[in-house]
Amino acid sequence: MSYTFIFIGRSGAGKGTQAPLLEESLKKIDSTTEIVRMETGNIFRSFIKGDKWAQQKAKSITDAGGLQPEFLTINLWSTFFIEHFRNDPHIIIDGTPRKPFEATVLHGAFEFFERKKPIVVYLNVTRDWATEKLMARKRNDDTAEGIAKRLAWFDTEVLPTIEYYRHNPAYQFIEINGERPVSEVHEELLVRSGLKK
């Protein structure tokens, strides 16, 4: 059986650190099945480099720390899915979905690709903890204001999506306290997802 993992959590919660670690562990456990890892943020950063009208507009939204429209996020991940979902790979998703109605569209995609019981990994960290992390690692496109904005829209837009998954029988929901050393978080994920017996 192929695994589907969805990492969800605030910016700075460690999704981008834990996703590659999970990929490595999966590879050790099952070296024959292909692993596809999708990082929505990366796809977006390369999208906004283009010169189409939509790309320029999306760039100005990013620059202002705003939230991208769903039709664009769905456009990007649906394109990725169609290109990469062959031969029933293990799938690791980081950065999708955000709003609940995007989660509903994503659910239709999982049914279409016959993905059984995706595992939602919620890396739970407080807003203060995330702020500190993000200020410390500050990329050049991060401003204090942009960071505050992103963390604020997580509360209004993404938290309802986490509740959508929490008691949903079609998913396995794992909530992990992310304010701990990287290796501990990773270990807990392996145990609770059943990858490590």
Kindly list the residues in this chain that would bind other proteins in the complex (CB under 8 A). 52-55, 57, 69-72, 74-75, 78-79, 81-82, 85-86, 101, 104-106, 108-109, 111-113
What the block records as the tokens of 106 is: 């994503």
Q: Read off φ and ψ for residue 106, nearest 5 degrees.
A: -65, -35
| Residue 37 bridge partners (DSSP) | 92
Nearer to other proteins, 23 or 70 (CB): 70
Nearest-approach distance from CB 108 to other proteins, in angstroms: 4
Nearest-approach distance from CB 197 to other proteins, in angstroms: 32
Nearer to other proteins, 7 or 85 (CB): 85
Nearer to other proteins, 35 or 61 (CB): 61
Nearest-approach distance from CB 77 to other proteins, in angstroms: 8
Judge whether 44 and 77 are in contact, CB under 8 Å.
Answer: no
Q: Is 104 helix (H, G, I), strand (E, B) or coil?
A: helix
* Amino acid type, 31: S
What kind and span of H or E run contains 29?
helix 15-29
Nearest-approach distance from CB 39 to other proteins, in angstroms: 18
Nearer to other proteins, 48 or 125 (CB): 48
Distance CA 154, CA 11 (A): 8
